[in-house]
Chains A and B, each alone.
Chain A
């Protein structure tokens, strides 16, 4: 099954989930295209937004990547409300929900200077280039380093 990034973003937006995209989607929005398999997002921790997020995950038949037998059940919902991260496989592709990760700012901070973007006319928010660069510097994996070099390249 091929990921449907616009479909995943559309499902989240239409359900009222507030989030800022980070990771490969945000990198692409800043004009650095590389293959990414998942939608990385930092959600608004407000109760109603997390509830809406959990509802969308259920609607998209989400399963935990670490345990494909496991659905988004009550315990997983509670974990989301407690600011846990979650990586799921859905009918629209993988979604990484990031709520606490070293170097990743909170939703409130990311939303302050986020950029509006569209994917096939579906609107969503992406983190600023400055925050993206700071996150890449903090993580420092080989992939992050490659992204960083291109994000810092004035030609991009």
Chain B
């Protein structure tokens, strides 16, 4: 990790790289594991409730 801030284009490339790395890591899962993961993630996401506009 370089010490200095990246330019916006580099930041976008880093974000894309992170997405690729995550996809590569998750490719090691079996179809059953992947399905269980998606099921659990959707269960958690369904637990999100919008409340109200934030008052600063």
Interface residues of A, Cβ cutoff 8 Å to B: 2-6, 24-25, 28-31, 33-38, 64-66, 70, 75-76, 78-79, 82-85, 87, 94, 96, 98, 100-102, 111-120, 123, 125-126, 128
Given contacts A102-B8, A120-B47, contact A3 B41 (CB under 8 A): yes
Task: Report how far A118 CA is from B21 CA in the complex, Å.
Answer: 29
Count of A-B residue pairs with CB < 8 Å: 120
Please state if B54 and A125 are interface contacts (CB–CB under 8 Å). Answer: yes
Interface residues of B, Cβ cutoff 8 Å to A: 1, 3-6, 8-9, 11-12, 14-15, 17-18, 21-22, 26, 36-38, 40-42, 44-54, 56
Contacts of A96 in B (CB 8 A): 15, 18
Please state if B11 and A119 are interface contacts (CB–CB under 8 Å). Answer: no
Please state if A118 and B44 are interface contacts (CB–CB under 8 Å). Answer: no
Residue of A5, A84, A94, A102 near B22 (CB, 8 A) is A94
Task: Report how far A4 CA is from B22 CA in the complex, Å.
Answer: 16
Task: Report how far A38 CA is from B1 CA in the complex, Å.
Answer: 21
Please state if A76 and B41 are interface contacts (CB–CB under 8 Å). Answer: no
Please state if B44 and A101 are interface contacts (CB–CB under 8 Å). Answer: no
Please state if A101 and B15 are interface contacts (CB–CB under 8 Å). Answer: yes
Please state if A100 and B54 are interface contacts (CB–CB under 8 Å). Answer: no
Please state if A111 and B56 are interface contacts (CB–CB under 8 Å). Answer: yes
Contacts of B17 in A (CB 8 A): 66
Please state if A85 and B15 are interface contacts (CB–CB under 8 Å). Answer: yes
Task: Report how far A147 CA is from B17 CA in the complex, Å.
Answer: 20
Contacts of B49 in A (CB 8 A): 29, 117-119
Contacts of B44 in A (CB 8 A): 3-6, 119-120
Task: Report how far A5 CA is from B14 CA in the complex, Å.
Answer: 23
Contacts of A76 in B (CB 8 A): 1
Please state if B6 and A35 are interface contacts (CB–CB under 8 Å). Answer: no
Contacts of B53 in A (CB 8 A): 113-116, 128
